[in-house]
Amino acid sequence: MRITLMGPPGSGKGTQAQRLVEKYQVPQISTGDLLRAAVAAGTPLGQQAQAIMARGELVPDDLVIGIIRERLAEPDAERGFILDGFPRTVNQAKALDELLTDLDRPLQAAILLEVDEEAIVQRISGRRVCERCGAVYNIYTNPPAKDGICDVCGGPLVQRPDDNEVTVRQRLKVYREQTAPVLDYYRDQGKLQVVPGEGDVDAIFAALCAVIDALED
């Protein structure tokens, strides 16, 4: 499987990607997660990215393309991959196409989780992430069994620093201006698939799996 999950912040990409990893045994590659790890580790890349992320803006294309190039070269990505949060600009999409053409493993589909933007700010305010393993919860729609504790590893659940209302509105604006054109890019290639991203998490997952199972290699 070689897909990218698209959708505005808070559309459920990360949650669904984590489920797909379990079912299809291919890695989730999230540029947001990789950048947050770089920030936490205090690497030069992380130092460059931290303030940009806090403002809800996009990290420069060459940096994220470099991250993706390195990550796709790791052995576990040979089985396939689920990109999450990449590409976010048409430039990134073109670079990805070049990279995958060189590897002779073109992207099969860009799957858009379609959600109403009005619901997003509230949705994101409920998001909690495990500090230890990265599992994603929502206190309203997908709560952990025990408040504040990860079901998977028992780690503490925290709120991302960029999940506040001001930053979320900025991230939505960036999505509309810079990422929405990527949808047209994939539509023109005949690779865009749309799955309704609202409602029951299990039902969305089932719809997503139906699309994936119908993909041609």
94 is catalytic: no
CB distance 70 to 63 below 8 Å:
no
- Nearer to ligand AMP (CB atom), residue 57 or residue 198: 57
19 is catalytic: no
Q: Could you confirm whether 191 is annotated as catalytic?
A: no
Nearer to ligand AMP, 32 or 193 (CB): 32
Amino acid at 138: N
Rounded least distance, CB 83 to ligand AMP, Å: 9
Element (H, E) at 49: helix 44-55
Is 9 or 12 the residue whose CB approaches ligand AMP more closely? Answer: 9
52: its two tokens: 């940009």
Contact residues toward ligand AMP (CB under 6 A) are: 9, 31-32, 35, 52-53, 56-59, 64, 85-88, 92, 162, 171
Q: How far is the CB of 214 from ligand AMP (least distance, A)?
A: 26
Shortest Cβ distance from residue 14 to ligand AMP (Å)?
A: 7
Please, what is the minimum distance in Å from the beta carbon of residue 37 to ligand AMP? Answer: 11
In 94-135, DSSP assigns E strands to: 109-114, 127-130
Question: What CA dihedral angle connects 206, 195, 4 and 124, to 10 degrees?
Answer: -90
Pick from 207, 184, 183, 187: which is nearest to 197 by CA? Answer: 207
Q: Which residues carry out catalysis?
A: 13, 88, 127, 160, 171
